[in-house]
Amino acid sequence: YNKINVKSIIEIIQKDENQQIKKEASKIIAKIAMKDPRAIKPEISTILQSFNEQQPTLKIAYSRSLLEIAKDAPDIIPIDSIINFFSDQDSFIRESGAKILGYIGFKAPNDALTILLEQGLKDEEWIVREASIISLGKVIEHIENKELIISNLISLLDDDNVWVQRSVMNILSNIKNIKASDIPFEKIIKNLNNSDPKVREASAGLIKIYGYHNIDRIFENILSLLEDESENVRKSMINSLVDIIQKIGLSEILSKLLKNLSDEGSLELQRSIATILGRTTRYEDDKIKKRVISLLKIRCEMSQDPIICENLHKIRES
């Protein structure tokens, strides 16, 4: 791909009357950028300038092409031009702008942070808010004042869209060194009981922040999620509890887990606990292993459940 070819394609985008041809030309620009970003770099300002002159449908295709360029060649896209996307009337363009900032925001993290917080998170359309949240999760590692981002994200835990709520909790659960005191406990409990399984799934991932320091406070909530009707919620809670155990030690909650590994609890709860024990007990001393094997053996024989029996076998082999 050479400079002349790129220029000729840009001229098609600028001057051709056929919208479909323009749309295909924008896709070609994106493909060239992915293979050879240097071929596009000298013309990127012309490409972005022509963006505002296009019809709405072509602008959407154009913005998607720019998103692909941002993924593979973030250095060639100037942040100032993308910030203008947030003023577009079309929510799909604003969404693309928010997504692109997630890939190029590292170049000017404070500028990216400002636009995402002041416009992206406050946008009337949930797709823009969600895209802004995800991009904040990428930009945050380049920002010193993480408290500002955390406080703005927490305000969206009450958002009326479940995808926004889910994205907020997923980002919060992945922020390094976030403290339980940063997140109001009542907001987490509210979302743990949400009727939408996507929200409960994300809540199960975030609740581990409390478990590191006060497992007793949330243990009943953990049990509830371990027998949730949704498989994804159960898996999320299993992963979180394994993570907690890796930090605080299995001995801290072993008695509580074994107490609930009985025929008084639901089969799903027994399966979840067996899975957790199967993933954590193998690293413990023989005394703990024998204690777990003894009880799992009873549950396996009584229930003949393949998941319970499989985890018993895993611990025995270890």
Confidence of residue 1 (pLDDT cuts 50, 70, 90): very low
* Cβ neighbour number for residue 179 with a 10 Å cutoff: 11
**Predicted TM-score (pTM) of this structure:** 0.78
Q: Which amino acid is at 69?
A: I
- In tens, the pLDDT along 112-155 reads 999 999 999 999 999 999 999 999 999 998 998 888 899 999 99
Residue 63 is predicted with a pLDDT of 84
**pLDDT of 217 higher than 70:** yes
The ranges assigned to domains in the chain are: 1-77, 82-176, 185-248, 255-317
Q: What is the CA radius of gyration of the chain?
A: 25
Fold of 82-176: Leucine-rich Repeat Variant (1.25.10)
Q: Which amino acid is at 134?
A: I
Residue 222 is predicted with a pLDDT of 95
Which residues are CB-neighbours of 106 under 8 A, at least 6 positions away? 74, 138, 139, 142
- Can you read off the two tokens belonging to residue 120? 């992206």
**pLDDT of 90 higher than 80:** yes
Contact 40, 47 (CB under 8 A): yes
**pLDDT of 249 higher than 50:** yes
Mean pLDDT score, 234-238: 97
* Cβ neighbour number for residue 277 with a 10 Å cutoff: 29
Asked whether the domain spanning 185-248 has the same topology as the one spanning 82-176, the reply is yes
Chain-wide mean pLDDT for the chain?
A: 89
Residue linked to tokens 């500002």: 148
Confidence of residue 111 (pLDDT cuts 50, 70, 90): very high
**pLDDT of 62 higher than 80:** no
Mean pLDDT score, 259-263: 89
Contact 66, 96 (CB under 8 A): yes
% residues pLDDT > 90 (the chain): 60
**Dihedral sign of CA atoms 307, 311, 313, 317 in order:** positive
Coil, helix or strand for 122?
coil
Q: Which of 289, 263, 257, 259 is nearest to 276 (CA)?
A: 257
**CATH number belonging to domain 185-248:** 1.25.10.10
The whole-angstrom separation of Cα 257 and Cα 249 is: 13
Residue 245 is predicted with a pLDDT of 95
* Cβ neighbour number for residue 97 with a 10 Å cutoff: 28
Confidence of residue 254 (pLDDT cuts 50, 70, 90): very high
Confidence of residue 2 (pLDDT cuts 50, 70, 90): very low
Residue 40 is predicted with a pLDDT of 74
Residue 82 is predicted with a pLDDT of 92
Q: Report which secondary-structure segment, H or E, holds 197.
A: helix 197-206
Contact 150, 131 (CB under 8 A): no
Mean pLDDT score, 3-17: 72
Mean pLDDT score, 26-48: 75
Q: How many helices (H) and strands (E) does the chain have?
A: 20, 0
- In tens, the pLDDT along 67-83 reads 888 888 888 888 998 99
Residue 3 is predicted with a pLDDT of 46
- In tens, the pLDDT along 284-315 reads 999 999 999 999 999 999 999 999 999 999 99
- Can you read off the two tokens belonging to residue 246? 């890796």
Instruction: Give the alpha-carbon dihedral of 201, 203, 204, 206, to 10 degrees.
Output: 130
